[in-house]
Structure 1
Amino acid sequence: MMNWDDLRYFLALVDCGTLTGAARRLQVEHTTVARRIDALEVVLKLRLFDRLVRGWQLTAEGQDLIEHAREVEERWFSFERKALSASKMEGVVRISAPPSLSTFLLAPRLKILCASLTGVELELQAERHQVSLGKREADIALRMARPQTAGLVIKPLASVGYGLYASKAYLKKHKEDDWEFVAYEKHSATPHHQWLEDYLAQRKVVLRSNDQMVLAQCAAANLGVTVLPHYLRQSHRHLYRIEQQACPLRRKLWLVMHDDVRRSPRVRAVADGLIDLFSGAEMTDLLL
């Protein structure tokens, strides 16, 4: 009989294109991925992938099965989500949030929520990419962009303010006309990084990074001026907010769940706890 779980390995290899990528997604060894694909091929009596020197390549037979495999996968995840909605007040609840927000806002403030949820274990996933709530990669996601995917429950959680930051030592040593900048990677679509690119004009950028926690550390280490969410000012005691050159941007932070899981007692309790956390005066002060 076919092991239905082997379809996950098949689709992960289709999506990622390499054994290593599929293994990383599934959090297993690449040899496990290869073994599960081999087993699926034996049961189906089909060759799904050609093993080439440059990598594994889908056969025509494998290509024909992708759509059907995705239908089976979606039905399985739908079954899981429905089962979760009928579950008790116990088990794991996975929260996905951006790394800096997870590190400097959530992690230091989850103690009370954890203590109030007897029988519930929180799993905080600090991730740059948007995980799939439909595939149960997380139960709750905090996102800086409003999702457009159907079937999601979306609630505005808070407003996040931004500003220009540098160290006091840097600002004491450099006049505004002589400022140099640490900026995000080029071609970023993020609003506050686009604003910084416009603000820069022809001024010098000394370093770029794809991580705003790196930018915060660079600014605190006297490397230059950067734009940061206000909550990151607590990441380093040497960061100083430049009030006279305010960044006007505010971005919405959204709490997102799949519609099928919002009735789960434990997911609902965690979501309510996060809503209460972000509605407090302390959090508002940190964000704005």
Structure 2
Amino acid sequence: MTNGFLSPSKREADIAIMLARPSRGPLIAQKLSDYGLGLYGAGSFVSAMGKPAEPENLHKFPLIGYIPDFIYADELRYLSEIDPALVPRTCSTSINMQRSMCAKGLGFAILPHFTARNDPAITHILPEDSAIRRSFWIVVHRDLRNVGLSVVRTFGTSRGIN
């Protein structure tokens, strides 16, 4: 199991869960689920630093995000969807580390709701203005189509992850 770099089209992986539907190659893809992301900050950080009244004010606050040179999928460029000029001050290649840094009060971060909403240390900031949607895709080489379809039937595609 790894993040990002194994290719089902080159048979480096039998099954891949991807952030985007592949546009080429001998692959079969089916959407697994949609999920939402939003802006989060630690309660302690918000108490000490305040919070932006609107997305345009985010540049005044420290932001947490991905290391720009190591972003392997455009679907991870969350901050630019809010404002293309936003640049993270603290970076990691791991969304789990970004959530941890956010919970420790190092700044605001765009996080998947399914990882952030049950963390008592962090709170959702600007929910209407920072709503981002993404999808997970199950991808297999066309020679393994029955394996991929079996996995999809097992997990289903009717529910989204919030």
Category of TM-score, reference length = shorter chain: 0.7 to 0.9
Aligned to 1:216: 99
Could you list the runs of 4 or more consecutive aligned residues of structure 1 that deviate by over 4 angstroms after TM superposition? none
- Equivalence map 1:197-208=2 (5 Å): 198=84, 200=86, 205-208=88-91
1:139 to 3, 8, 14: 14
Q: 2:33 aligns with which of 120, 139, 158?
A: 158
8 Å Cα contact 1:164/1:245 also seen in 2: no
Q: CA deviation at 1:218?
A: 0.4
Determine if contact 1:182/1:215 at 8 Å carries over to the other structure.
yes
Question: Where does residue 128 of structure 1 map in the other structure?
Answer: 3
Name the residue aligned to 2:67. 185
Matched residues in 2 for 1:165 and 1:156: separation? 26
Amino acid paired to 1:226: A
> Could you say which residue in structure 2 is the equivalent of 1:173?
48
Q: Mind listing any 5+ residue stretches in structure 1 that lack a counterpart?
A: 1-124
As a proportion of its length, which structure holds more helix? 1
Shift of 1:183: 2.3
- Per the alignment, residue 158 of structure 2 pairs with 279
Shift of 1:198: 2.6
CA distance in 2, matches of 1:151, 1:235: 39
Question: What corresponds to 1:30 in structure 2?
Answer: none
Counterparts of 1:182 and 1:135 in 2: how far apart (Å)? 34
The letter of the residue matching 2:32 is L
Is the CA contact 1:196–1:227 (under 8 Å) kept in the aligned structure 2?
A: no
Larger radius of gyration: 1
Q: 1:208, 1:142 → 2: CA distance?
A: 23
| CA RMSD, Structure 1 to Structure 2 (Å) | 2.6
User: In 2, Cα distance between the equivalents of 1:135 and 1:151?
Assistant: 9
